[in-house]
Amino acid sequence: MNTLFEVKIYSIDTSSIIAAFHERYPIEFFPTLWKKIEELIRSHRLKMSQVVFEEVMRDPEIKHWCNKNQFKQYLHEGVNIQVQEKVREILAVFPRLVDSRSGKSGADPWCVAYALITENCTVVTEENLAGSVKRPKIPDVCMHFKVECIKVVDLIKREKWVI
């Protein structure tokens, strides 16, 4: 558990929530984990930029889960001028982070941008460091902008969830 003065916020990317929901921690096999995630969402500590949220909502099962639990009001963070400015900064350094020809997510810079404007925010992604400007991943952007970046399993450990 975090101290009273340090409440950690998490900006989760599309692939993380989809991989957790369908592959790594399916809700039917890890119901306790998903109850903890739901608590994190309701406490306004797990967030998605609007662009990430819209991308995630393309998955019918996750959309149903979010709608059933009325998560949009807690999870969704609208786009504002600060986030837009950070997305521009990110894409100025990492223009190949978004590439529609390769199928790369257009939401990735928005996930990091939200973390940049949010105090004590960590990015959650299942991506690994690419170490390449030509094929950057979210962890590369986070390292460049000095934003902490962790995987879902690290979030579980950090929150000290016993499942």
14: CB partners within 8 A, 6+ apart: 52, 55, 56, 105, 107, 111
Does the pTM surpass 0.85? The reply is: yes
> Quick one: pLDDT band at residue 129, thresholds 50, 70, 90?
very high
> Quick one: pLDDT band at residue 132, thresholds 50, 70, 90?
confident
Tell me what the mean pLDDT of segment 79-91 comes to: 95
Per-residue pLDDT tens for 18-47?
999 999 999 999 999 999 999 999 999 999
Q: How far apart are CA 117 and CA 147, in angstroms?
A: 10
> Quick one: pLDDT band at residue 58, thresholds 50, 70, 90?
very high
pLDDT score at 2: 47
pLDDT score at 108: 94
Comparing 3 with 34, which gets the higher pLDDT? 34
> Quick one: pLDDT band at residue 1, thresholds 50, 70, 90?
very low
Q: Which CATH superfamily is domain 9-158 in?
A: 5'-nuclease (3.40.50.1010)
Element (H, E) at 43: none
Residue 86 identity: K
> Quick one: pLDDT band at residue 100, thresholds 50, 70, 90?
low
123: CB partners within 8 A, 6+ apart: 10, 11, 12, 13, 111, 112, 115, 138, 142, 147, 148, 149, 150
- Residue ranges of the domains in the chain? 9-158
* Lookup result for tokens 């009001």: 73
Tell me what the mean pLDDT of segment 127-147 comes to: 94
pLDDT score at 104: 53
pLDDT score at 101: 59
Three-class DSSP category at 101: coil
> Which neighbouring-strand residues pair with 77?
49
- Mean of the per-residue pLDDT values of the chain: 92
HSE-up (13 A, CA, CB side) for residue 9: 19
